[in-house]
Structure 1
Amino acid sequence: MNPSVHPSSIVEDGARLGAGVSVGPFCHIGAGVALGDGATLDAHVVVGGRTRIGARVRIFPFAAVGLPSQDMKAGLAEGALTIGDDCVIREGVTINAGAEEGTRIGARCVFLASSHVAHDCRLGDDVILSNQVLLGGHVEIGDHAMIGGATAVHQNVRIGAQAFVGGLSGVEGDVIPFALASGNRAHLFGLNLVGLQRRGFAAERIERLRRAYRLLFARDDARVFSERVASLAHDFADDADVAAIVGFLRAPATRPLCAPRAR
């Protein structure tokens, strides 16, 4: 199937449109853009930079994707952006390009209205940003994480896979995988139990994660945190979920850890 482009839209020379691409009225597609098979731009969509958009991605009106970052140090240099297959980008969303490898977004992600992804972010698969979520530069989010509406995430923060951040939060610390965080400034409330149950985690699997969480943040444990992490790695050596938490905690980080609030 040949691409379908509305006569009012502009597709610059050099842009590549896959089979079955549909471009609605008043869109602008830059010369460095590649749209995967079956991608749809509804209307009034701008896509620029060195942007690669996967198959069957749908972009709703007034979204701006792949434009230069708002990083004052970078100026308005053209950057790169990669978006995986089957993503949904709703009205007014802005996703900025990044330097070098650029901003990278996995498959089946959903960006609700007016959410913002800054330069050089890394998002895994099946990530959901609710309305008006703001991600600073170099934020990393793991697979199946969900961020509640009107939440702001500080630059360089990492949010682990399967985590949930409640709405109206200000996140300035790293959130471990499988956790539930909320508040301004955000702190941990425990595990993302509802999300894990909805994704089919067995009761035994969730209980192991709960034991690991309690050991990690036990208030009566006098050991330094690195010793607790080492103990967790030893005691749950055959548990892939706990290994994911340990790996997250041992990975290089520039932000503090989001932890439970002290009583």
Structure 2
Amino acid sequence: MTDTPPSDGPGSGGPTSRWFDELGLATVFLTRLPWPRPIIDPRPLMAAAWAFPVVGLAIGLIGGVAFAVADAAGLPGAVCALIALAASALASGALHEDGLADLADGFGGGRDPEAKRRIMRDSRIGSYGVLALILAVSLKAACLAALEADTAVLAMIAAHAVARGVVPGLARALPFAAGDGLGCAAGKPGRTGALWAAAIAVAVALFVLPAGIGLAAAIAAGVAAVLVGMLARRQIGGLTGDVLGAAEQTAEVAALAAIAAYLAA
């Protein structure tokens, strides 16, 4: 199945004069956080692509504050990390974790592209999905626990921002695997939206972390998202909402691993 990304314009995903509504659109869809006024923007989600890393920054900040509070209470680093991950998952509604689990179940259990997509649409979780979530949470917790508390807080902010910042680029690059579902409903960003999202994500990472570490996190997140996209293209022919969720989670793990590895070197 092929599709053409939109040309750059009012719906391309870059910020417009309606930036507050665009930020609200991204916040309401990607989180469970309250928004001060109803969202009546009729445009698809990817019209707010630029705001994805901003929403990621907010989720990472929530997780980071939870880590800092747990650390101030004298809890071990591993416990602080798990509390921080729980707080960020609650803030996001575990939206991307759900995508990772569905993708793992579909890719692991389906014999052909149609069977894989059918399994991914099933709301039940299987052994592959459970294992994927355990591994993702364990890897993130281990990376955070290996960092000093102050660095862990900043690492969460950077990782959530860059992981969501790569999603619009992946959405633009891949064809839709099917003509329905959340991925299709979200639409495709134009080049402007994808670039804005990536630029804001990198800027956040470079602002909260030393330049080399922030850049390493951003590159790792981008590479992880590309690998998920390549796998999805091969397994099911392209893009679904679950693919985007799995890409975000994989990019988040990669960003935290890059930060931990850089500081351990």
- TM class by shorter chain equals under 0.3
Greater C-alpha Rg: 1
Which structure carries more strand by proportion?
A: 1
Which structure carries more helix by proportion?
A: 2
Under a length normalisation based on structure 1, what TM-score does the superposition of the two structures give? 0.25
